[in-house]
Structure 1
Amino acid sequence: MITNLLSVFADEDMDRPIKSVPGMETFLRCRDLPSFYRAKEINHPIFEFVNTPTLYSIRATAHILNTFDDIEAPVLWHLRSYWPNLYTIGPLTALLNTLRSGSTKFTSSLPVASNASLYAEDRSCMTWLDQQPEKSVVYVSFGSLAMVSREQWLEIWYGLVNSSHRFLWVRRQDSLLAMDGEESQIPADLVEATEQRGYTVDWAPQEEVLNHPAVGGFFTHSGWNSTLESMVAGVPMVCWPHLADQQINSRYVSEVWKIGMDIKDNCNRETVEKLIREMMGDKREELMKSTMKVAEMARKSVSRDGSSYRNFEALLEFIRKSC
């Protein structure tokens, strides 16, 4: 399959449908495949990095996935033909909250969860959110790995400002690819507009932000953790994926679950402005119907009678019997 995909990316339309992935035949395109498929050579190191653990995974006694049955049933059905002992126990953070709530028999044996953040959180953004109207803020974060050029950074910034919506933007200090002195050369109109409607931090307590009443939308890189956290919080998304699974995640968000919109390779200021306006305005009612439905499924999955909760119990029993 990789050889065929390489020849596709060399010459053909990135919007050509891909029909060979079970469970994804109706919506997958070339541009939705993981970013490593865009390499031009079969001996590219990234293929070895991905293929080796994939082949070894078949030998495992059991598999644990951070997802829940209701949103990925067709694909999970195919995976279980290879991995019979497959345990879907996600969204993990939501399941942990359930287990720590005092309503389950597992609570006493669980350690107190530590802060899993990769960076120091700037909690001043929560104070700023407290001062904003309900569902008025677009939360913007591209995760812990994405690097953005100065040109792309400005395009996004202009798109946010031109949308006329309030925004909270997480901009890691190490995320900007800029020459010395370029970062400080910011157009005055962007600075002024941000002072009026925006707030920026190096890092934020994301789960708390997404569940804050002032947040009405999420402009995201479509990392799986961020996608799940947005699902549980019931917040619609505008997706700008960068690498690995993010490409497919964003396609699912827009075309399968209908809980957001997918930018992919066209992230200019006009597109950012348009999709944020749609997420926060014209298409909001339509998006929220699907978003709240998915949120309900996610929360139910980790409840005492939910599929992920039951799968977690089954996983513990499997481990006990295997010891």
Structure 2
Amino acid sequence: MSVDRPIFKFFMEEFEAIIRASIATRFPKIYTLGPFHALLKSRAGDDVTSSVSSLRHEDRRCMAWLDSQQLGSVIFVSFGSLAKLIHVQLLELWHGLINSGKPFLWVVRSDMLSSEQDATPVELENGTKERGFIAEWIPQEEVLAHKAVGGFLTHGGWNSTVEGIWAGVLMLCWPQLADQRVNSRWVGEGWKIRLDMKDTCDRSKVEKMVRTLMEEGDRRQLIFKSVDNFAKLARHAVSEDGSSYKNMEKLIEDLN
């Protein structure tokens, strides 16, 4: 039995044609409108900025720091607005970033720790001063689009995933909660556009995975080709002859 109710999917027909076709057998009216943040900008022009949807004050000093870094050298680290870490997880991640030897921009929210914080080891403070920048919140879309950013360590939230694809940035995922594990497995193993740290995180694993993502090698090249292809599909989808742009036109027409 088909149901004549509209379904809005904030991704693209080009990515999910098989899933869309299956859903359409019961819900014929499907409007695939993703990547929605990019579609909105393509229609509204310069009137829409990333700050419109920002949840917190953005520390824009990070952009000047990125300007001082080499092309594609920085690993950007963010776990979104909800995920929490215990102190030992934060320290293991921090050690791994320092030990990787790569410059890093890391979003550490003041409410991110779910346990009491002990004193920060001196070696972490010194390592961060040498090649790191830590901020409470940043303009994520701008950061991902910056030429210095060569990798994105993310929690696997859908918004961050889509923004990473749009920017064509190589991704490494450490899922935390909700849909993030499913997102990570699907995007990593299905689309093959990012590496997956699974559910555990220690300093040696972080170091190894960051190096794999950021340094030349067969695995990096495979992911880069996939991400580049998906980024091109995403950009076409929101262009005037793309599926998402046309579906938005159809939605507006159907609502009138």
Task: Indicate whether the TM-score tops 0.5.
Answer: yes
Q: CA 1:294 to 1:112, structure 2 compared with 1: closer, same or farther past 3 Å? A: closer
The reply on whether 1:187 has 2:121 as its aligned counterpart is yes
The amino acid of 2:136's aligned partner reads D
Aligned with residue 234 of structure 2, among 298, 307, 310: 298
Whole-angstrom distance in 2 between the partners of 1:262 and 1:80: 31
Q: 1:247 aligns with which of 181, 192, 203?
A: 181
One of 152, 155, 158 as aligned partner of 2:89: 152
Give every structure 1 segment of 4 or more consecutive aligned residues whose post-TM-superposition deviation is greater than 6 Å. none
Distance 1:154 1:112 in 2: 37
Residue 65 of structure 2 corresponds to: 128
Q: Distance in 1 between matches of 2:205 and 2:23?
A: 36
Within 2, Cα distance between the matches of 1:257 and 1:250? 10
What letter corresponds to residue 63 of structure 2 in structure 1?
A: M
Identical pairs, percent: 47
**How big is the alpha-carbon RMSD for the aligned residues of Structure 1 and Structure 2?**
1.6
C-alpha distance in structure 1 between counterparts of 2:156 and 2:3, whole Å: 29
Say whether 1:277 aligns with 2:196.
no
Quick check: 1:142 aligned with 2:79?
Answer: yes
In structure 2, runs of 5+ residues without a counterpart are: none
Judge conservation of contact 2:94–2:203 (CA < 8 Å) in 1: yes
Could you tell me which residue of structure 1 aligns to residue 110 of structure 2? 173
- 1:77: which partner in 2? 21
2:141 counterpart residue number? 207
Structure 1 residue 294 displacement after superposition: 0.5
Aligned-pair CA distance for 1:285: 2.1
Structure 1 residue 101 displacement after superposition? 3.0
Separation (CA, whole Å) in 2 of partners of 1:248 and 1:285: 24
1:77-116 → structure 2 map (5 Å cutoff): 77-101=21-45, 115-116=52-53
Q: If the length of structure 1 is used for normalisation, what is the TM-score?
A: 0.75
Distance 1:88 1:204 in 2: 29
* Post-superposition CA distance 1:101-134 (Å, at most 9, x none): 38xxxxxxxx756621111100000010000000
Give the Å deviation of 1:286.
2.1
Letter in 2 for 1:297: L
What is the TM-score when the length of structure 2 is the normalising length?
0.94
Residue 8 of structure 1 corresponds to none
| Structure number, greater radius of gyration | 1
Residue segments in structure 1 that go unaligned for 5+ positions in a row: 1-57, 103-110
Amino acid at match of 2:38: A
- Structure 2 matches for 1:219-230, cutoff 5 A? 219-230=153-164
Q: Using a 3 Å threshold, how does the CA distance of structure 1 residues 204 and 112 change in structure 2: closer, same or farther?
A: closer
SS at 2:195 equivalent:
strand
User: Aligned partners of 1:238 and 1:59: how far apart in 2?
Assistant: 39
Counterpart residue type for residue 24 of structure 2: R
User: Which whole-Å CA distance do the structure 1 matches of 2:136 and 2:123 have between them?
Assistant: 22
Question: 1:256: how far off?
Answer: 1.5
